[in-house]
Structure 1
Amino acid sequence: MGIAGLTGCETPEPRSALSYAADAERAYNQAMEEFTSHNWIEAQSLFREVKRKYSYSKFARLAELRIADADFEQEKYAEAIREYRQFVHDHRSDVEEVGYARARIAEAQYKQISESFLLPSADERDQAVILDAYKELKGYVHDYPTGKDSQKIRELLADVTARLMRHELYVARFYLQRDNFDAAVLRIQYAMRNFALGPQLAPATPGKQPRINPNAPEPVDSGLEAEALLLLGEVYLKMHKFGDARDTFNAILHDYPKSPLTVQANNYLDYMRERGV
């Protein structure tokens, strides 16, 4: 056999760009078959092969997301978050895929919240986890207000915000029961400034009640803002800060006219008028 014949046997025919892309897509689809069958471990193994063999194709990037998705579906949220974050870091120019990864990070953070968060025994780790979820959810809504997942993320954000509000009001009532009025006021004001979904309070100046913040984002009423204001008004009454109490009860009537708590706010205002305070 001549040299030409030997060379022909030993040198593989180079693949074209078209065949490379077709092979990448075929391998990705085979991995997706395992993924849709919930064979997570096998699917991840095949996706890693796609990444290794077809690193210059778009299917390698998609495989990275599916590997993270498989961890997400197995409730391995910490691993999934790390993988999604790595994707965001490595592929900043892939706007649609980065938006998807950001949404999944936010949702994974949400799913890590312990159901024990609102119990009296809630520890600092619970607080850190829910605050991380709040930041991720809020960040996604800010960066992708019209994104494909924005409605779902907004609903999760509303739930997390309500949990944070309830926690702060629980702590405020704890202080109120112990006649620590200043601490109760500070916790309610903190909750309203940071977690209120309705009209938000601007930072208070010393000796003055915080006012509605005109620069706050468009509100979504969670139902807890009126409750927070009612509690704040009750604390002011106990402190004999009648002007602040009156302003707070009137804020409920003005900003939350459909709230059932307007009845109690009106009752308190009538009580104060009857006593001339």
Structure 2
Amino acid sequence: MPESRTGLTYAANAERDYNKALEEFKAHNWLQAQALFREVKRKYAYSRYAPLAELRIADADFEQDKLGEAIRGYKQFVHDHRSLNAEVAYARSRIAEAQYNQISDSVLLPTSEERDQVATLESFRELKSYLQDYPDAKESAHICDLLEKVTIKLVGHELSVARFYLAKNNFDATIGRVQYALRNFTADLTCRHTPSAPLAAGEPSALRTEFGLLPDALLLLGETYLKMHRWDDARTAFNTLVKRYPESALVFQANNFLEFMKARGV
């Protein structure tokens, strides 16, 4: 005889079976846990434990590094249960983290050669979108950390490519890559790790965390403008570095370039 779908018995049985599956999950018996969670979904589709079981199935895929399957599961959950605000926020945070985990170490390494950046860019967009929608969620601090890491790698990659062009005396391409990185990957970041340490207005958090990147970009711009004899632009880049990042080790080089320009009367 089918179990009743009304009353305390149905709810109690749903909770009992969910908790049984959860015990297997906590014991890292992923396949057994998933099988039990699927039974919860089937038998107690009208209980509050059915959508929770869906999340745990995706979680088990995530824990097994089946990231593609996990992402599909979380996305399906978001599509089917939009009214469950807290659970949707959690699912979206896991989508963002899973996409970050799909980025291979080789893609994240700076290089003078072009690499396929599709996975990295997708991760950047997903992480950024999550923080825009859930700036104060429980998972936001962790997602912010991942966003900063991705941003640092993307900007670092662009600067590496820019240096490659500079070595080839392709000055316009050098400037274009630096400006592209700063325009597309740093302008809108608003990560806040603690309320006591908010960002200044417009400050790119990822570059504040990885202190060298923005000074590196400014120094590279200044050097390129020097080679192009665009003296005012070079002076602006070097002075900006010195004034905004006085503790950077690159200030010494920027001051040397400024003294060189002064001595040349340019």
Q: Determine the structure 2 residue equivalent to 1:179.
A: 169
Q: Determine the structure 2 residue equivalent to 1:165.
A: 155
Provide closer, same or farther for how the CA distance between residues 98 and 82 of structure 1 changes in structure 2, counting only shifts above 3 A: same
Q: Supply the distance in 2 between the matched residues of 1:102 and 1:186 (Cα, whole angstroms).
A: 34
Correspondence 1:137 to 2:137: no
Deviation of the 1:111 alpha carbon: 0.5
Provide closer, same or farther for how the CA distance between residues 32 and 133 of structure 1 changes in structure 2, counting only shifts above 3 A: same
TM-score under structure 2 normalisation? 0.89
Q: Determine the structure 1 residue equivalent to 2:260.
A: 271
Amino acid at match of 1:273: K
Secondary structure, aligned partner of 2:105: coil
User: Which residue of the other structure, out of 79, 102, 110, is the alignment partner of 2:69?
Assistant: 79
Q: Unaligned 5+ residue runs, structure 1?
A: 1-10, 200-213
Q: Supply the distance in 1 between the matched residues of 2:242 and 2:2 (Cα, whole angstroms).
A: 80
Q: Determine the structure 1 residue equivalent to 2:145.
A: 155
Q: Supply the distance in 1 between the matched residues of 2:258 and 2:119 (Cα, whole angstroms).
A: 40
Secondary structure, aligned partner of 1:55: coil
Deviation of the 1:255 alpha carbon: 2.2
Which structure has more RCO (C-alpha within 8 Å, separation ≥ 6)?
Answer: 2
Provide closer, same or farther for how the CA distance between residues 216 and 79 of structure 1 changes in structure 2, counting only shifts above 3 A: same
Provide closer, same or farther for how the CA distance between residues 121 and 100 of structure 1 changes in structure 2, counting only shifts above 3 A: same
Deviation of the 1:96 alpha carbon: 0.3
Provide closer, same or farther for how the CA distance between residues 99 and 37 of structure 1 changes in structure 2, counting only shifts above 3 A: same
Amino acid at match of 2:119: V
What are the residue-to-residue correspondences of 1:36-51 with 2, within 5 Å?
Answer: 36-51=26-41
Q: Supply the distance in 2 between the matched residues of 1:68 and 1:143 (Cα, whole angstroms).
A: 22
Deviation of the 1:19 alpha carbon: 1.1
Q: Determine the structure 1 residue equivalent to 2:192.
A: none
Q: Determine the structure 2 residue equivalent to 1:242.
A: 231
Q: Could you give the per-residue CA deviations for residues 130-150 of structure 1, whole angstroms, max 9, x where no partner exists?
A: 001101111111111111011
Deviation of the 1:258 alpha carbon: 2.3
Q: Number of residues paired by the alignment?
A: 251
Q: Supply the distance in 2 between the matched residues of 1:180 and 1:121 (Cα, whole angstroms).
A: 15
TM-score under structure 1 normalisation? 0.85
Q: Determine the structure 2 residue equivalent to 1:203.
A: none
Q: Determine the structure 2 residue equivalent to 1:102.
A: 92
Secondary structure, aligned partner of 1:63: helix
Amino acid at match of 2:256: N
Q: Could you give the per-residue CA deviations for residues 183-219 of structure 1, whole angstroms, max 9, x where no partner exists?
A: 01000000111123799xxxxxxxxxxxxxx984664
Deviation of the 1:123 alpha carbon: 3.4
Let me know the Cα RMSD of the aligned residues: 2.1
What are the residue-to-residue correspondences of 1:186-205 with 2, within 5 Å?
Answer: 186-196=176-186
Q: Supply the distance in 1 between the matched residues of 2:115 and 2:78 (Cα, whole angstroms).
A: 31
Q: Determine the structure 1 residue equivalent to 2:115.
A: 123
- What fraction of aligned residue pairs are identical, expressed as a percent? 58
Q: Determine the structure 2 residue equivalent to 1:64.
A: 54
Secondary structure, aligned partner of 1:116: helix
Amino acid at match of 1:271: F
Deviation of the 1:227 alpha carbon: 0.6
Q: Supply the distance in 2 between the matched residues of 1:22 and 1:143 (Cα, whole angstroms).
A: 35
Deviation of the 1:265 alpha carbon: 1.1
Provide closer, same or farther for how the CA distance between residues 250 and 74 of structure 1 changes in structure 2, counting only shifts above 3 A: same
Q: Supply the distance in 2 between the matched residues of 1:12 and 1:230 (Cα, whole angstroms).
A: 73
Q: Supply the distance in 2 between the matched residues of 1:145 and 1:132 (Cα, whole angstroms).
A: 19
Q: Determine the structure 2 residue equivalent to 1:54.
A: 44
8 Å contact from structure 1 (residues 144, 150) kept in 2: yes
Q: Unaligned 5+ residue runs, structure 2?
A: 190-199
Q: Determine the structure 2 residue equivalent to 1:88.
A: 78
